[in-house]
Structure 1
Amino acid sequence: MTDTSNTRSASGEAQGAPRSRLLRLTRYLPLVAPVLLWAVPCWVLLYGGQHWPLPVTLTGTALFALGLIGMPLAMARGHGRRQQDGAAIVGDTLLGAGWVLFTWSVLLGVLLRAALTVAGVGDGQDRARVVAWAILGVTAVLLVWGYAEARRVPRVRRVEVRLPRLGAGLDGTRVALITDTHYGPLDRARWSERVCETVNTLEADLVCHTGDIADGTAERRRAQAAPLGTVQATRARVYVTGNHEYYSEAQGWVDLMDELGWEPLRNRHLLLERGGDTLVVAGVDDVTAESSGLPGHRANLTEALNGADPDLPVLLLAHQPKFIDRAADHGIDLQLSGHTHGGQIWPFHHLVRLDQPALAGLTHHGARTHLYTSRGTGFWGPPFRVFAPSEITLLVLRSPQESAVS
């Protein structure tokens, strides 16, 4: 026994060494990322051969330094212990603006300058100034457009999904999906009302919210969430927790949604019956629930399906797409998720794909399991959406026949 234990211990230490080094490196990311976010555009715009007048260079450098210092400070005050909404708005806006400016400083700083050089346009200083003005112009346009996209009522995306086990009596069942509303520092009570009014025009049998209702406690964001109580469904309104609920007293959100007339599907299911056929509608807590330390909060699909007829089709609500592996193992017919925001601000979707198996839309997993991932109804943090539009989704469930996505 002693020898085996020592062998395992040595093996574990060998495997753990690279992992521990990686963990040590990731600890420096909060320090390195803001520096890169502001230093790269500063260099490309001011010191990349443009030779601006000294007052321009000094003023620009001071603004970048202010962004570098002010962004993390504002975010810490806004999202840390103090929870100051004004500071959160400033920090989040600087984060979004910095990300867009960084992205296009890298892209245009390399590609446009190379194209101008190949085309023989001007000398080095002229090319550098053209690149600088192009970066500033593209960034300004994308930020204005991205802000408008984030604050607008989402367009309705209609999707038909064919489920081979769905009975004919349930053909045409209408499921409305909203998710990631992220009520937060920017007061969006009126936006929330308009979203709910749009959902009500869909005349859905089932309305689902797959989590991340807000950033902040239920008590603090109650006014923005209250319009959810006006949402109408002919059969049921169901909700599951997202990871952000577990940053903000999740049980308070479960209680508020119950108060507003939504059924929190916390590792449980209900039955939707129509035309003599039955659909199991199940839900699980977010995968981060167990690590939150809240008693009774965890993702448990076996518990959610307990007592359900295994021959019936199952619609599962799970906040994160990564739950799809467990869903496929259980033969779930359709999982509805959010969480990814479609990346929210391009090209952040490349980082999202490192963590999630799907970014947006309808995908197929395992023998019969479909996953629909919404790009989200609201936005998190930076009030911008760039090349990742928000959505309210209407899924029309079809028994075995042709399906299409609009």
Structure 2
Amino acid sequence: MKKTIGSFLALIGLSGGTYYYAREIEPGLLDINRNNIISDKISPAFNNFKIVQFSDTHIGFHYTLEQFNKLVTQINALNPDLIVFTGDLVDKPHNYHWSNNLTIALRKLEAPHGKYWIYGNHDHGGYGTEIIQDVMEAADFKLLKNSHSIIDKDNEQIVLAGIDDVMLGQPDLNTALHLADQDLFTILLAHEPDFADTAANFPIDIQLSGHSHGGQVRFPLIGHLYTPAYAEKYVEGKYTFSNQRLSLYVNRGIGTTRLPYRFLCKPEIHVFTLKRT
């Protein structure tokens, strides 16, 4: 019922004065969403450590390489210590006109403690699995596919883990955390946010996700009209789990998919600053 009414309102509203804004203006705006992550598990060496997350660029579907180059400049201006990408690089890998220019743009992103990424459903879809892996590897991004890395600073560590895409991959969190020290502050990258219900049963402190696009089109009182599978429960922003230590952050992403509109749901990147209590 909500989707039916919302779709009708979208048809009426976006056919009027808001259509130009939703198609041409808001998709080009950018929110920089800043969050402090506070924990006594964060060692002194990682106090004020800055992580930038971007997600769901969907390059090729009303989001151009020129726009992405501008995003690269904006991310670098934040001086991140670590950069993470949580999936869906291009919208349709089998139709995208691949060139070295995308690799060059990705390579320009700079972070002294590394650049990491995970698969999204669009990355696996359209025969893109190997192509996108080659592009990201050439751009110095490290893939976390049911695996983890130890981020080291001044002989102290945090754990950064990632799983394969839930929809089209083979996610395995047990494998991703195999031999990881449970006493270390642990971050999980998972494209689909609803995976947090599973992650909450593991020794994970924060999960960073995308996939939902925040719904892309939102209306007052009604909220979002539609989100894809595995982004139906957790749509945008921060969620906490009362009986577990996990906090989930859902990124609205950069690009659009299915429909080239954003309304009351601006694109965003997340900036997380680790703080030791």
The separation in 1 between residues aligned to 2:225 and 2:234, in whole angstroms, is: 11
SS at match of 2:17: helix
SS class of match (2:218):
coil
Instruction: Find the partner of 2:9 among 99, 103, 107.
Output: 103
- Equivalents in 2 of 1:104, 1:219: separation in Å? 28
Q: After the TM superposition, which residues 366-405 of structure 1 pair with which residues of structure 2 at under 5 Å, given as runs?
A: 366-400=243-277
Structure possessing the higher relative contact order (Cα contacts under 8 Å, 6 or more residues apart): 2
1:330 — aligned with what? 202
| Counterpart position of 1:163 | 39
Partner of 1:75: none
**Pick aligned residue for 1:229 from 103, 107, 117:** 107
Q: For 1:165, give the aligned amino acid.
A: K
Deviations 1:230-265 (A, max 9, x none): 111111100000111121222221221111110011
* Map of 1:360 onto structure 2: 236
Superposed displacement of residue 335, structure 1: 0.5
How many Å separate the matches in 1 of 2:195 and 2:40?
21
**1:177-188 equivalences in 2 (<5 Å):** 177-186=53-62, 188=64
C-alpha RMSD of matched pairs (Å): 2.4
Q: Are 2:123 and 1:214 equivalent residues in the alignment?
A: no
Distance 1:221 1:312, change over 3 A: farther
Q: Distance in 2 between matches of 1:353 and 1:211?
A: 14
Write the mapping of 1:44-83 to structure 2, written as runs, cut at 5 A: none
Q: Structure 2: any 5+ residue segments left out of the alignment?
A: none
Change (3 A) 1:166 1:187: closer
- Give the aligned partner of residue 240 of structure 1: 118
Q: Given the superposition, is the C-alpha separation of residues 218 and 239 from structure 1 closer, same or farther in structure 2, using an over 3 Å criterion? A: farther
Partner Cα separation in structure 1 for residue 58 and residue 256 of structure 2: 6
1:269 aligns with 2:144: no
1:203 touches 1:234 (CA, 8 Å); kept in 2?
Answer: no
Preserved contact between residue 182 and residue 203 of structure 2 (Cα < 8 Å): no
User: What SS class does the counterpart of residue 329 from structure 1 fall into?
Assistant: coil
Tell me how far apart the structure 2 counterparts of residues 356 and 316 of structure 1 sit (CA, whole Å): 19
1:342 pairs with one of 190, 205, 214:
214
Select the structure that is richer in helix.
1
Alpha-carbon distance in 2 for matches of 1:221, 1:393: 28
TM superposition shift of 1:145: 1.1
Paired with 2:94 and 2:43, the residues of 1 have a C-alpha distance of 39
Matches within 5 A, 1:12-51: none
Please tell me whether the aligned partners of residues 49 and 273 of structure 2 are also in contact (alpha carbons under 8 angstroms): yes
Structure 1 position 360, deviation (Å): 1.0
3-state secondary structure, aligned to 1:312: coil
SS at match of 1:192: helix
Offset of residue 148 of structure 1: 3.0
Contact kept, 8 Å, 1:153 with 1:194, in 2: the verdict is no
| SS at structure 2 position matched to 1:352 | coil
**Given the alignment of the two structures, is residue 301 of structure 1 paired with residue 173 of structure 2, yes or no?**
yes
State the 1:185 CA deviation.
4.0
Letter matched to residue 359 of structure 1: V
| Structure with max Cα Rg | 1
* Deviation of 1:380 (Å): 1.2
Richer in strand (by share): 2
User: Do 2:193 and 2:210's aligned partners in 1 also have CA atoms closer than 8 Å?
Assistant: yes
How far does residue 275 in structure 1 lie from its aligned partner after superposition?
3.7
CA distance in 2: counterparts of 1:188 and 1:196, whole angstroms? 13
Amino acid at match of 2:184: L
> In structure 1, what residue type is equivalent to 2:197?
D
Quote the residue 1:279 is aligned against: 158
Match in the other structure for 2:185: 313
